[in-house]
Amino acid sequence: MDLTFSKNAVQIFTQWFGRNGNVVSSVKDEIRRPPYPCVKINPLPSSSPEAQGIESERVLKYLQRLCREPDIKMQTVIIARNGHIISRAHFYPYSTDIWHASYSLSKSLTGLAIGLLYDDGLISLDDKLIDIFSDELPPVARINHKSTTVKHLLTMQTGVFFNELGAVTETDWVRAYLESGVKFKPGTQFEYNSMNTYMLSAIVKKVSGRGMLDLLRERVLSPIGIDTIYWEKCPRGIEKGGWGIYYYPDDILKLGLLYINGGVWNGEQLISERWIKESTKKQVGTPDETGIYDYGYQVWCKEDRRTYLFNGMFGQNLIVFPETNIMIATTASIDETFQNSPLYTITEKYFGHPYRPRGHLDENPEALSELRDAEGSLIMHNSDAYIHKNDTDCHSLKELNGVYSVNTEDGFGLSVMPELYQGVHNCFAEGLREFGLTLDKNGGELSTLEGNTAHKLSFGYGKAVPGCVCYGKETILTSSYAVLIDDNCEKKLRITICFPELPNVRYITVGKTADGVSVKWEEAPGFDFLAKLIDRTFFGKLLLDKHTMPAGSEFAVKRMRYFLSPTVNMKKTQKESI
């Protein structure tokens, strides 16, 4: 399998990263998620911070500190203590009442499902992978995976070669995993790999005879009031396990409260306290590159047990301080796969050890009012909406109005949907053919023709306009605004397309040329994230090392910048609209 996987992966990677043709995935008709359900959820009860022993001023300073952090782009923050929400904040133009895509935060729910089977006596941590899948075992697996156990999967110590890119190149992930080789003896090293978690999901279905989400719904999610949740599935219909959940941030706090209470909800033991304690304590040390936490059973944790978290790349988190009953749920757009972001150190500073909130404080109406006003008007200081908030003359660029043609070679990969979204979701753009703008004094409309699919998004000047884009059989929410910027003394229009359900942001900067427009395409997470991701691989370290491969390093950086931030010249056509 490894050679086939490598061949398919290289083919897709060179097409996608090299922009030398439309990417053709080897996996067809993947199941896509339904549209945002727009339902009302039942959150935890609300309270003032003071009623739960925390100063409103502390919460406000924390939120304001996040606003000033240049290396993060926060979307939402919800803070709770003692099972009560004390602060619900959103950063322009996001909202806390929309569900959100989760990447590796999903792993902690998979670990919870394994805990249910463990409590029921249906599996043990020493059960071997080859025994569980004995009836569909390829011969090579008896050699490569003869000692791999459930615990190795839980603690990311399998050493398997088959990684996340395999999801793009294979339709039978279980078979591909079992056919794959290993890099080191299982149980001897930590190596983060989402396909380990997928195999845990496959184990749940194999052992219980049920899909993992169905099991979790019956045993945990419905009892604690989580009714609306979606989990993407692999081509075989098994939940992806390591990623792919769409959840409401409020609901993830309910799971955190269940963990804080030792698995008890309304007097009923839903998951054993033993499993929670074992899951949230250090089982294996992690390398420095993953940040300040070690690893339990699909949960990141500190060795002193004062913090643990459900974490997904780009900034989806449930951060739990069990000693003080404080929980913080976040969504964001961060150029990190693990916990090296300032978000974690800032949060630890304000709410981690040695901070000790009281049981109760006198109410402070003035401070509480200031906090509540701020929660609804937060803007990241590194965003166009903050930097250019007083711009009102964008309509002076009406000469940009028109429809523009794009050369086929220049259009490969370009879309209103960011490149990294395309790769993570195995849903690649058809190729940009036309680009259009219609501007007036209040805002405008961006239109694109990608393959045979037309997209239209409205935006305001400094004011976000809600919308949606139908992409890859999914309806994806958008919130778009534009500002006027100076680029080398030239006035240009920069459009920001936010995706409230996603961590991705698309930036499109348009300037006038003699016979059309020059359009720069950027995104976040973007170059910094991709560089760190590649640098964490063996060949990536060599490629990006200026000392060992100076020419290769320079070439790789240029290719990454071209891939994630190309500038395309387009000629005006006679068409009035797309």
For residue 163, give the nearest of 199, 213, 112 by alpha carbon: 199
Kindly state the percentage of the chain with pLDDT values over 70: 92
pLDDT for the residue numbered 19: 74
Any residues with CB less than 8 A from the CB of 510 and at least 6 apart, and which? 400, 437, 492, 493, 494, 495, 517, 518, 519
The Cα 72–Cα 253 span in angstroms is: 22
Give the pLDDT band of residue 539 (cuts 50, 70, 90).
Answer: very low
In a shared domain, residues 148 and 191: yes
Domain boundary among 247, 273, 303: 247
pLDDT at 553: 59
Going by pLDDT thresholds of 50, 70 and 90, the confidence category of residue 404 is: very high
- Mean pLDDT of all residues in 326-333: 98
Q: What does the pLDDT read at residue 536? A: 57
- For residue 234, what is the domain's CATH number? 3.40.710.10
- Reduced to 3 states (helix: H, G, I; strand: E, B; else coil), residue 100 is strand
- When pLDDT is cut at 50, 70 and 90, the band that residue 534 belongs to is low
Query: Is 119 contained in some domain?
Result: yes
The model's confidence at residue 571, banded by pLDDT at 50, 70 and 90, is very high
- How many domains are there within the chain? 3
Mean pLDDT of 297-316: 95
pLDDT in tens, 496-518: 999 999 999 999 999 999 999 99
pLDDT score of 391: 63
Count Cβ atoms below 10 Å from residue 214 Cβ, excluding itself: 14
For residue 336, the enclosing domain spans 38-98+249-382
In this structure, the answer to whether residues 233 and 277 fall within a common structural domain is no
465-471 and 474-487 beta bridge pairing: antiparallel
Contact assessment for residue 152 and residue 158, using Cβ atoms and an 8 Å cutoff: yes
Residues 420 and 369 in one domain: no
Examine residue 32 and state whether it is found in any structural domain, yes or no.
no
pLDDT of residue 549: 46
Q: Look at residue 5 and tell me whether its pLDDT is greater than 70.
A: no
CA distance 310 to 485: 38
Q: Which tens digits make up the pLDDT trace of 114-163?
A: 999 999 999 999 999 999 999 989 989 899 999 999 999 999 999 998 88
pLDDT digits (tens, 9 = 90+) for 149-177: 999 999 999 999 888 776 777 889 999 99
Question: Is the model's pLDDT at 24 over the cut of 80?
Answer: no
Look at residue 2 and tell me whether its pLDDT is greater than 60: no
Q: Are residues 94 and 138 in the same domain?
A: no
Residues 559 and 486 in one domain: yes
Which pLDDT belongs to residue 478? 98
Q: Are residues 551 and 407 in the same domain?
A: yes
Domain boundary among 350, 382, 414: 382
Which tokens go with 295?
């690893």
Give the ranges where 180-319 is alpha helix by DSSP (H).
Answer: 194-208, 212-216, 249-260, 273-279
> What pLDDT does 325 receive?
98
Could you tell me if 540 and 565 lie in one domain?
Answer: yes
Helix axes 550-564, 527-535, angle to 10 degrees: 140
Say yes or no: 374 and 402 in one domain: no
CATH of the domain at 483: 2.40.128.20
Q: Is it true that the peptide bond before 139 is cis, omega within 30 degrees of 0?
A: no
Residue-wise pLDDT tens digits, 356-368: 999 899 999 999 9
CATH of the domain at 85: 3.40.710
The answer to whether residue 325 is domain-embedded is yes
What average pLDDT is seen over the chain?
91
pLDDT over 50 at 425, yes or no: yes
Query: Mean pLDDT across the stretch 403-425?
Result: 91
